[in-house]
Chain A
Amino acid sequence: MSQEISEIYTEEFFVNMGPQHPSTHGVLRLLLRMDGEVVMDMVPHIGYLHRSLEKIAENRTYLQYIPFTDRIDYVSSMFCNQSFCMAVEKLANIPVPERAEYIRIIMVELNRIASHLIWLGTFSLDLGAITPFLYCFREREKILDLLEMTCGQRMTFNYMRVGGVSRDITAEFIPLAKDFVKYFLPRVDEYEDILTNNPIFLSRTKGIGLLDQKTAIDNGVTGPSLRATGLKWDLRKDEPYSIYDRFEFDIPTGKNSDVWDRYMVRIKEMRESLKIVQQALDGLPEGPIKTKTPAVFKPPAGEVYSRIEAPRGEMGFYIVSDGSPKPYRVKIRTGSFSNLTVLSLISRGWKIADLVAIFGSLDVVLPEVDR
Chain B
Amino acid sequence: MSPEDIKEILTEKYSDKLKEDKIAGFEPSFIIEKDSLLEICRYLKESNGLSFDLLSCMCGADYEDRFEVIYLLFSFSNKHKLSLKVQLPKESPEVESVTSVWQGANWHEREIAELFGIKFKNHPDPRPILLPEDWDEGYPLRKDWSGKDFKRMPDFK
Binding site for B on A (CB under 8 A): 46-47, 50, 52, 54-55, 59-61, 90-91, 215, 217-220, 231, 233, 238, 296, 302-307, 314, 316, 318, 320, 325-326, 328-329, 331, 333, 337-338, 341, 370-371
List CB contacts (< 8 Å) of B34-58 with chain A. Answer: 53-57
Q: Is the CB of B156 within 8 A of A325?
A: yes
Would A318 and B70 count as touching, CB distance under 8 A? yes
Structural contact, B54 and A59, CB atoms closer than 8 A: no
- Closest CB-CB distance, A56 to chain B, in whole Å? 10
B58-76 interface (Cβ within 8 A of A): 59-62, 70, 72, 76
Q: Please give me the residue from chain B that is nearest to A220 by CB atom.
A: B104
Given A59-B152, A217-B76, A306-B25: A316 and B56 within 8 A (CB)?
yes
- Tell me whether A218 and B102 are in contact (CB under 8 A): yes
Does B106 reach chain A (CB closer than 8 Å)?
yes
Q: A305 contacts B57, CB within 8 Å? A: yes
Could you say which interface size class chain B belongs to?
A: 35 or more
Query: B130 contacts A305, CB within 8 Å?
Result: no
B74 to chain A, nearest CB (A): 9
Q: Which 5 A-B pairs have the closest CB atoms?
A: A220-B104, A305-B25, A331-B59, A333-B57, A47-B130
B130 touches A46 (CB 8 A): yes
Q: What CA separation (Å) do A97 and B155 show in the bound complex?
A: 31
Q: Which B positions have Cβ atoms within 8 angstroms of A?
A: 22-26, 53-57, 59-62, 70, 72, 76, 79, 83, 102-104, 106-107, 115, 129-132, 140-141, 152-153, 155-157
Instruction: Report the Cα distance A338→B153, complex, angstroms.
Output: 32
In the complex, what residue of chain A is closest to B25 when comparing beta carbons?
A305
- By a CB distance below 8 angstroms, the chain B residues around A371 are 130
Complex contact A303–B76 (CB within 8 A): no
- Give how many A-B residue pairs fall within 8 Å (CB-CB): 90
A47-B76 contact in complex given A90-B25, A305-B25, A341-B106, C-beta closer than 8 Å: no
Q: Which residues of B contact A329 (CB under 8 A)?
A: 59, 61-62
A341 x B72 contact (CB < 8 A): no
Alpha-carbon distance between A369 and B102 when the two chains are bound, in angstroms: 19
Q: Are A341 and B57 in contact, with the CB atoms below 8 A?
A: no
Q: In the complex, which of the residues B25, B141, B155 contacts A54, with contact meaning CB atoms closer than 8 Å?
A: B141
Residues of chain B within 8 A (CB-CB) of A91 are 24
Given known pairs A318-B59, A318-B70, the reply for A218 and B104 (CB within 8 Å) is yes
Docked-complex contact B70 and A52, CB < 8 angstroms? no
- B26, B54, B55, B60, most chain A CB atoms within 10 A: B54
Q: Is the CB of B103 within 8 A of A218?
A: yes
- Is B24 within 8 A of A337, CB to CB? no
Residues from chain A with a CB closer than 8 A to the CB of B25 are 90, 304-307, 318
Q: Which of B26, B54, B107, B155 contacts A305 (CB 8 A)?
A: B26
Q: Which of A59, A238, A305 is close to B72, meaning CB atoms less than 8 Å apart?
A: A305
**Chain B residue nearest in CB terms to A331:** B59
In contact, A55 and B103 (Cβ under 8 angstroms): no
**With the chains together, A219 CA to B56 CA distance in Å?**
9
Q: Are B24 and A219 in touch, CB under 8 angstroms?
A: no
Q: In the complex, which residues of chain B have a beta carbon less than 8 angstroms from the beta carbon of A54?
A: 115, 141
Q: Chain B residues near A302: list those with CB within 8 A.
A: 22, 24
